[in-house]
Structure 1
Amino acid sequence: MQADALLTQDELDFIHNMQHAPQLNLADSMSSLLVNGDRRLQQLLTRLVANEQVTLQAQFNNQQITFPLQLVEDEFHALHLQLGSPAIYEDGPKLRPWRLSMDQPSPLIDARNTPSSLWVRDISFKGVLLQIANGALVPNHFDLYFAPPGIQPIALQGVLRRRIGPDLAAYDLARSEADEIERLREYILQAHRRAHPELHTQVSS
């Protein structure tokens, strides 16, 4: 290498690896949208996204996947449309959020990482089905953390919706913070990718 070169070989190799990292390329292609078409239509879409909730919806078998569209400003103050984490629904007599059934029930924990008597059986971005362990009382509400292996705990606030038998109860998660629900959506999306690889392979290709 020449003595007056601006970058060392190690630095050049690092940049080359970053440019060809498949996970980075995939993230960029999945998260942002390039909208072609009439300028007036682009301006209308931009105004709608800025002032209203605009979504992109797809149907797959018996599932409906809805992506929120968001306006993101880059470092040059240009606005771009970006996809948020999707909401996944199951078709049926009534449209309902797709629920992740845990392979093994996962206990909700408190701020000190102490497991509670509430164990997650099924979870969606809207609600959770809990198993009540050891004959404990069923609370009317909870403020605890969902902490399955491999992720930072997600803070959830649940309100009792109904009892299901002696040791199951369904809770609504509407009171949870929006950014925590967004993290839950992302976790559920990863689980949906594992459960339905054929869909996500088609989307990624």
Structure 2
Amino acid sequence: MPRNALLTQDELDFIQSMQHNPQLNLHEASSSLTVNGGAQIRDLLTRLAAHDQVTIQAQFDNQQLTFPLHLVEDEFNAVHLRLGVPSIFEDGPMIRPWRMALEEPVALENVRGTPGALWVHEVSFKGVLVEIRGRIKPPRTFSLWFSPSGYERIALRGTLERETARGLFAYRLSQTDGGETERLRQFILHQHRLMHPHVHA
């Protein structure tokens, strides 16, 4: 190696091994999208994504995943299309958000982390199915925290929709903070990946 070289051979080898490490590039590969359909299709998708919501839909078995497309600008001011976290739906008499049944119910918590009387049995990105413990009437609305084991807690706001035949209460979720909705979708996607590994492999 020449005497005035900036990096040693060991340093170069290390950088090249990091560059070709598939684990380090996993996040970028899963979140970015390359459109090879020609300039016209790419321009059309970019214009649509800039003005309205554009999605890509994948179907398997009785479920469908709908991925939103977002425009992002990189450090060189180039605009790219990026896939967002999908919404998962299940087919049936009517298409509805996929509801994940929790192994054990999780109590919704107040801002201080104290568990309350509402216990989540099932969750989707649009709603929750809860059990009311104690002698209280189901609240018309709630603004509480969902803290599944091993995950950062997620703020939920719910409005009572109906009581089910099993004595549980269905609440429709409304999120004012897009970050909380995204975190709930991430949690549901992670659980879906665990339950359907063949789809995500």
Q: Identify whether the pair has TM-score above 0.5, normalized to the shorter chain.
A: yes
Kept in 1: contact 2:156–2:174 (CA 8 A): no
Kept in 2: contact 1:57–1:64 (CA 8 A): yes
More divergent stretch after superposition (27-36 vs 159-168): 159-168
TM-score by length of structure 2 reads 0.90
Q: RMSD value over aligned CA atoms?
A: 2.2
Task: Note the alpha carbon deviations across 1:46-67, whole angstroms, 9 max, x for none.
Answer: 1001001100001101001100
| 1:80 alignment partner in structure 2 | 80
Gap change, CA 1:28 and 1:167, over 3 Å in 2: same
| 1:35 alignment partner in structure 2 | 35
More divergent stretch after superposition (31-40 vs 115-124): 31-40
Inter-partner Cα distance in structure 1 for 2:44 and 2:117? 51
Inter-partner Cα distance in structure 2 for 1:176 and 1:166? 30
| CA positional deviation for 1:176 | 4.3
Inter-partner Cα distance in structure 1 for 2:187 and 2:8? 39
> What letter is aligned with 2:40?
R
| CA positional deviation for 1:45 | 1.2
Task: Note the alpha carbon deviations across 1:115-165, whole angstroms, 9 max, x for none.
Answer: 011111000000000111123321011000111111111011000011225
Indicate whether 1:99 and 2:93 are aligned. no
Long gaps (5+) in structure 1: none
> How many aligned positions are there?
201
Inter-partner Cα distance in structure 2 for 1:10 and 1:149? 42
| CA positional deviation for 1:12 | 5.8
Inter-partner Cα distance in structure 2 for 1:57 and 1:37? 17
Long gaps (5+) in structure 2: none
> What letter is aligned with 1:62?
N
Inter-partner Cα distance in structure 1 for 2:40 and 2:165? 56
Kept in 2: contact 1:158–1:176 (CA 8 A): no
Task: For residue 105 of structure 2, give the secondary structure of its aligned residue in structure 1.
Answer: strand
| 2:19 alignment partner in structure 1 | 19
Inter-partner Cα distance in structure 1 for 2:121 and 2:9? 52
Inter-partner Cα distance in structure 2 for 1:54 and 1:61? 23
| CA positional deviation for 1:29 | 1.5
> What letter is aligned with 2:98?
W
Name the one with the larger helix percent.
Answer: 1
| 1:143 alignment partner in structure 2 | 143
Kept in 2: contact 1:106–1:148 (CA 8 A): yes
Task: Note the alpha carbon deviations across 1:11-34, whole angstroms, 9 max, x for none.
Answer: 667645643544432222211111
Q: Map 1:83-162; keep pairs closer than 5 Å.
A: 83-162=83-162
